[in-house]
């Protein structure tokens, strides 16, 4: 056994490689990015030719992985939680096709919204799709469970969801690792009808999936990842899901006096939960994210045991769990604490000094401020920081790609100027189809691509359309004379403002590409050259 | 034995390099370690921290409970104060004295210093100046690690130097040397 110091993300990546992975398919997103990056840098992955190039978005990633699974290979899909919304069609229907080669989908949830716009809990997706789900409690278990997940996927011919949360994804611990097994050869499914989801086939498969789901629950009772540990004091029983288990055990270094049901695998093991309910007067549910388990236990009708958790205020309704809130939930006294400093002030993140987004927003603001009716629709990326002081540069930011299409809807509704700002990577992720809608609608919109030649916010990954944005826009149907390229630098403000103003006045679809390399990747490229 | 450490500063200052070296040393000594990092949006000039727990027995939580932190290592004085509620009653703060001012409402330094006095056990160093003195201007974070080495219990300075050599090896011997020089300057200053 070799010891490594690994992030939860890295333990998952290495476990997948050791399970005989042939390809990882992903779009960068905090806190999932490091899974794919680890595989990209891994020597074994290179030697074996494991596919690890970034996908254009989570849906293309999910579909490509499904194609790999169809071909008999083991595939991994990785994304942040909101990526599940992007790939939902493919994800849900992959439970209908089932898997051939082992297929694991990893969703990294972000409770407390460290780098995200919501707190959605991916476990709901697994339940919704009738798919098994694993939620490891430690980095070591992440390494072990991902391998078990591939076995599960191939045994039951079903894709499997792995759910990590930020503190697992981005926390390092000592992990003992084993040897890598062989990759799969190409082989096609034994049940070819199942992969053609015509209604007649899908109805048959749906019945089978419902039966299989009962088997998945049996597995959750017996595989050993869900554990019932009895305690002396039966006044309370605790259900601790994923990393909540660690926060609980932190309070009891010599062992928890209460019965504990540790959950790392779904569907929920009904028999184990019924035992806990029989044994204890009250159950406290500790789960990261939304109260999925608690709500199920509480239901709508009176329960024989009292159920506590996030819904009754025993734990906070929102935000990630901590050892402190779990301590309070267990009724333990607070540790003596020094008073918080009254001197500190918040230090919000900001666009880097010298960043091209800054210069683009400065020029855009100078023009926009002369149009009192203007509305600016922005998008997801570093440039979202342009909402903060000193720029206050736009009015909306919702989800990947929404800038172009919200600007379109506003323009159709009579708003002028209607301006969108999107990054290059977000544009190829989900802006291109919106651009096609705008072209077909002949709307008067000014769509700006702030092109820093990378996926900046997640640390500078390759951007899918680099070097081809003009031809993509023209191919979609934007008039070539209204695809304008500017270089966002202070010395160019006058020209940038002239171009922006001209295109706002144009009665049709314009695309303005403000192109200058991200200064973070520029520094990195310069440093790499020095070493060479 | 167990030591809970909060590393903090401003995104881009290099707290993760400090964490990586401590992590390497802990692994080398067969110790248990958990290190929760901040990635993503905050790295763009916002406040960043890493919870680092080193122990010779099992570590449960990846996060340090309030009132349990033995040591705050901060590359920025106001950021050190942000985590005071996590500090144990006899915990230590080791901080850079030079503020990183990238916000318009940064507090008066007198107020920051007075509040550090309130906390007690504080080692203050101008790590940027010390780094320059030993011709390692870009290794201020290693000066701070050197200072922290004076109170790190399970990891000796020699071991941490091995960690520096290991972590910076692929950048060449010159980079390793400047970082070790910075580390030694920090250790010497803290022992004064």
ipTM entry: 0.94
Residues 173-192 of A with CB under 8 A from B: 173-174
- Using pLDDT thresholds of 50, 70 and 90, give the confidence band for residue A351: very high
Rounded-to-integer distance, Cα B98 and Cα A276, Å: 55
Residue the block writes with tokens 């997103």: A29
- Residue A143 sits in the same domain as residue A42: yes
Whether residue A31 is preceded by a cis peptide bond, meaning omega within 30 degrees of 0, is yes
Q: Which residues on B lie below 8 Å from A322 (Cβ)? A: 63, 65
pLDDT for A437-449, tens place per residue?
999 999 999 999 9
For an interface test with B, which of A38, A136, A252, A341 has the most B Cβ atoms less than 10 Å from its Cβ?
Answer: A341
Same-domain pairing of A382 and A449: yes
Residues A446 and A364 in one domain: yes
Ramachandran class of A266: left when φ > 0, alpha when ψ lies in -120 to 50, beta otherwise:
beta
CA distances (Å), origin A166, targets A110, A170, B189: 5, 6, 37
Find out whether A284 and A308 touch, Cβ atoms under 8 Å: yes
Identify the CA nearest to B140 among candidates B188, B182, B91, B104.
B182
Residue A430 inside a domain? The answer is: yes
Q: From the candidates A172, A325, A457, which should be mutated to test the interface with B, based on the most B CB atoms within 10 A? A: A172
pLDDT at residue A67 in the model: 98
Residues A271 and A369 in one domain: no
In this prediction, residues A264-268 reach a mean pLDDT of 98
CB-based burial label for B167 (10 Å; 0-12, 13-18, 19+) = middle
Cβ A377 vs Cβ A402: under 8 Å: yes
Q: Which residue of B has its CA nearest to A353?
A: B45
Structure tokens at B138: 């870009």
For A19, residues 6+ apart whose C-beta sits below 8 A from its C-beta are A74, A102, A146, A147, A150, A151, A181
Per-residue pLDDT, averaged over A388-406, amounts to: 97
Provide the pLDDT for residue B11: 86
**Is the same domain home to A396 and A380?**
yes
Pairing of strands A265-266, A133-134: antiparallel
Q: Which residues of B touch A355 (CB under 8 A)?
A: none
The answer to whether residue B171 neighbours chain A at the CB level (below 8 Å) is yes
C-alpha of A26 from chain center: 10
- The pLDDT value given to residue A446: 98
For chain A, say whether B42 makes contact (Cβ under 8 Å). yes
What is the domain extent for residue A112?
Answer: 2-181+196-220
Please compute the mean of the pLDDT values over residues A402-431 and round it to a whole number. 98
Identify whether residues A11 and A157 lie together within a single domain: yes
Q: Quote the longest CA-to-CA distance of chain B.
A: 45
- CB-based contacts of A273: which residues, under 8 Å, 6+ apart? A239, A261, A297
Q: How many domains does chain B have?
A: 1
Which residues pair with residue B8 across a beta bridge? Answer: B49, B74
Contact A349 B42 (CB under 8 A): yes
Mean pLDDT, residues B67-93 taken together: 96
Mean pLDDT of A340-369: 95
Residue B110 C-alpha, separation from nearest chain A C-alpha, in angstroms: 10
Closest to A376 measured CA to CA, from A333, A418, A341, A415:
A418
Mean pLDDT value across residues A275-302: 96
SS3 A395: coil
pLDDT at position B43 over 80 = no
H or E stretch at A260: strand A260-263
Answer whether B105 touches A (CB < 8 Å). yes
CA distance A189 to A280: 47
Among B27, B37, B44, whose Cβ lies nearest the Cβ of A382? Answer: B44
Q: How many angstroms separate the CA of residue A334 from the nearest CA in chain B?
A: 8
Confidence of residue B40 (pLDDT cuts 50, 70, 90): low
| Distance of alpha carbon A239 from alpha carbon A221, whole angstroms | 14
Reading the block at residue A466, the tokens are: 């680099």
Looking at the structure, do residues A120 and A265 belong to the same domain, yes or no? no
pLDDT of residue B45: 83
* CATH code of the domain containing A377: 3.40.50.970
Residues A236 and A368 in one domain: no
Residue B42 pLDDT grade (very low, low, confident, very high; cuts 50, 70, 90) = low
In a domain, A496, yes or no: yes
Q: Side by side, which strands form the sheet with A375-377?
A: A375-377, A418-423, A445-451, A509-515, A483-486
- Same domain, yes or no, for A314 and A361? no
Range of the domain at B14: 2-191
pLDDT digits (tens, 9 = 90+) for A7-18: 999 999 999 999
- Cβ A341–B84 below 8 Å, yes or no? yes
Measure the CA–CA gap between A440 and A477, rounded to whole angstroms. 8
Rounded Cα distance between B69 and A309, Å, is 27
Asked if the Cβ–Cβ distance from A337 to B67 is below 8 Å, we say yes
With CA atoms as reference, report the closest residue to A217 among A204, A226, A205, A229.
Answer: A226
Burial class (CB in 10 A: 0-12, 13-18, 19+), A370: exposed
- Cβ atoms within 10 Å, residue A153: 26
* pTM for the predicted model, two decimal places: 0.96
Yes or no, beta carbons of B36 and A5 under 8 Å apart: no
**Rounded mean pLDDT, A130-150:** 98
**Residues A409 and A290 occupy one common structural domain:** no
Q: Compute the CA torsion angle A504, A509, A513, A514 (nearest 10 deg).
A: 20
Indicate which CATH number applies to the domain containing B51. Answer: 3.40.920.10
Domain end (from A294, A329, A364) = A329
From B150's Cα to the closest Cα of chain A, the distance in A is 24
**What is the model's pLDDT at position A423?**
98
What is the distance between the alpha carbons of residues A350 and A380, in angstroms, rounded to a whole number?
14
Query: Where does A49-138 have alpha helices with state H?
Result: 58-70, 83-86, 88-97, 123-129
Beta bridge partners of residue A509, listed in sequence order: A445
Question: Would an 8 Å CB–CB cutoff place B41 in contact with chain A?
Answer: yes
Pick from A496, A501, A514: nearest CA to A356: A514
Nearest CB among B27, B37, B82 relative to A170 is that of: B37
Percent over 90 (pLDDT), chain A: 95
pLDDT at position A304 is 86
Confidence (pLDDT) at B12: 81
Can you name the residues that pair with A283 across neighbouring β-strands? A237, A307
Nearest to A186 by CA among A56, A23, A43, A44: A23
Q: What is the pLDDT of residue B160?
A: 97
- CB contact at 8 A, A160 and A66: no
Whether A435 maps to a domain, the answer reads: yes
Task: Give the 3-state DSSP-derived string for chain B, with helices as H, strands as E and coil as C.
Answer: CEEEEEEEEECCCCHHHHHHHHHHHHHHCCCEEEEECCCCHHHCCCEEEEEEEEECCCCCCCCCCCCCEEEEEECCHHHHHHCHHHEEEEEEEEEECCCCCCCCCCCCHHHHHHHHHHHCCEEEECHHHHHHHCCCCCCHHHHHHHHHHCCCCCCCHHHHHHHHHHHHHHHCHHHHHHHHHHHHHHHHHHHC
Q: Quick check: A171 and B34 CB within 8 A?
A: yes
**Which residues of chain A neighbour B99 with C-beta distances below 8 Å?**
none
Of B96, B70, B8, B110, whose CA–CA distance to A347 is shortest? B8
A175/A273 same-domain check: no
Q: Is the pLDDT of residue B87 over 80?
A: yes
Q: Would an 8 Å CB–CB cutoff place B36 in contact with chain A?
A: yes
Whole-number Å distance between alpha carbons of A215 and A140: 26
Q: Are residues A50 and A25 in the same domain?
A: yes
| Residue A372 burial class via C-beta count within 10 angstroms: exposed 0-12, middle 13-18, buried 19 and up | exposed
Distance CA(B177)–CA(B180), nearest Å, equals 5
Average pLDDT score over residue span A308-323: 97
């Amino acid at each position: 056994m070799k010891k490594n110091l690994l992030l939860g993300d890295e333990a998952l990546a290495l476990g997948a490689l050791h399970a005989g992975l042939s390809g990882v398919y992903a779009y960068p997103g905090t806190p999932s990015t490091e899974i794919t990056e680890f595989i990209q840098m891994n020597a074994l992955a290179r030697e074996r030719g494991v596919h690890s190039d970034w996908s254009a978005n989570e849906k293309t990633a999910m579909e490509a992985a499904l194609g790999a699974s169809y071909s008999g290979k083991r595939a991994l899909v990785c994304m942040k939680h909101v990526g599940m919304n992007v790939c939902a069609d493919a994800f849900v229907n992959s439970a209908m096709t089932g898997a051939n080669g082992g297929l694991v989908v990893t969703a990294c949830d972000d409770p407390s919204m460290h780098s995200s716009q919501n707190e959605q809990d991916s476990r709901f997706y697994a339940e919704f799709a009738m798919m098994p789900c694993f939620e490891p409690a430690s980095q070591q278990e992440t390494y072990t469970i991902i391998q078990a997940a591939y076995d599960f996927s191939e045994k039951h011919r079903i894709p499997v969801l792995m759910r990590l949360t930020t503190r697992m994804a981005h926390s390092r611990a000592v992990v003992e690792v084993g040897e890598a097994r062989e990759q799969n050869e190409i082989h096609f499914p034994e049940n070819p009808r199942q992969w053609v989801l015509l209604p007649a086939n899908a109805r048959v498969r749906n019945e089978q999936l419902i039966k299989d789901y009962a088997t998945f629950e049996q597995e959750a009772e017996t595989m050993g990842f869900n554990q019932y540990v009895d305690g002396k004091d039966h006044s309370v029983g605790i259900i601790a899901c994923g990393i909540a288990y660690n926060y609980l055990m932190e309070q009891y270094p010599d062992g928890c006096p209460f019965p504990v049901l540790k959950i790392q695998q779904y569907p929920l093991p009904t028999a184990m939960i019924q035992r806990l309910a029989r044994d204890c007067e009250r159950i406290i549910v500790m789960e990261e994210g939304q109260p999925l388990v608690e709500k199920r236990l509480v239901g709508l009708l009176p329960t024989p045991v009292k159920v506590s958790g996030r819904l009754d205020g025993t734990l906070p309704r929102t935000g990630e769990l901590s050892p402190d809130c779990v301590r309070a939930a267990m009724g333990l006294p607070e540790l003596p604490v020094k008073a918080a400093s009254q001197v500190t002030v918040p230090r919000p993140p900001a666009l880097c000094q010298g960043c091209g987004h800054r210069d683009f927003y400065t020029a855009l603001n100078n023009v926009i401020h002369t149009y009192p009716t203007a509305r600016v629709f922005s998008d997801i990326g570093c440039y979202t920081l342009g909402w903060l002081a000193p720029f206050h540069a736009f009015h909306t930011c919702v989800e990947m790609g929404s800038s172009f299409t919200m600007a379109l809807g506003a323009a159709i509704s009579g708003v002028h100027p209607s301006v969108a700002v999107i990054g290059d990577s977000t544009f190829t992720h989900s802006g291109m189809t919106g651009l096609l809608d705008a072209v077909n609608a002949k709307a008067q919109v000014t769509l700006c691509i702030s092109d820093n030649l990378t996926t900046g916010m997640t640390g500078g990954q390759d951007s899918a359309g680099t070097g081809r944005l003009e031809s993509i826009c023209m191919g979609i149907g934007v008039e070539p004379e209204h695809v304008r390229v500017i270089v966002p630098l202070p010395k160019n403000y006058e020209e940038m403002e002239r171009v922006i103003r001209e295109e706002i006045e144009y009665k049709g679809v314009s695309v303005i590409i403000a192109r200058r390399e991200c200064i973070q990747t520029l520094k990195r490229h310069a440093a790499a050259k020095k070493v060479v | 034995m167990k030591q809970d450490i909060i590393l903090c500063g401003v995104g881009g200052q290099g707290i993760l390099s400090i964490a990586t070296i401590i992590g390497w040393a802990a692994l080398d000594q067969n110790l248990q370690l958990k290190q929760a990092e901040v990635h993503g949006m905050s790295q763009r000039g916002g406040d960043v921290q890493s919870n680092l727990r080193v122990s010779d027995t099992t570590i449960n939580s990846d996060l340090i409970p309030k009132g349990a932190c033995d040591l705050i290592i901060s590359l920025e004085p106001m950021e050190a104060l942000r985590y005071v509620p996590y500090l144990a009653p006899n915990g230590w703060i080791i901080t850079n004295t030079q503020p990183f001012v990238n916000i318009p409402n940064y507090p008066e330094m007198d107020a920051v210093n007075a509040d550090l006095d309130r906390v007690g056990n504080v080692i203050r160093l101008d790590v940027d100046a010390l780094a320059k003195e030993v011709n390692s201007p870009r290794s201020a974070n290693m000066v701070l690690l050197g200072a922290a080495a004076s109170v790190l219990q399970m990891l000796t300075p020699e071991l941490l130097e091995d960690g520096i050599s290991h972590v910076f090896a692929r950048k060449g011997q010159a980079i390793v040397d400047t970082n070790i020089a910075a580390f030694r300057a920090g250790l010497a200053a803290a022992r004064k």
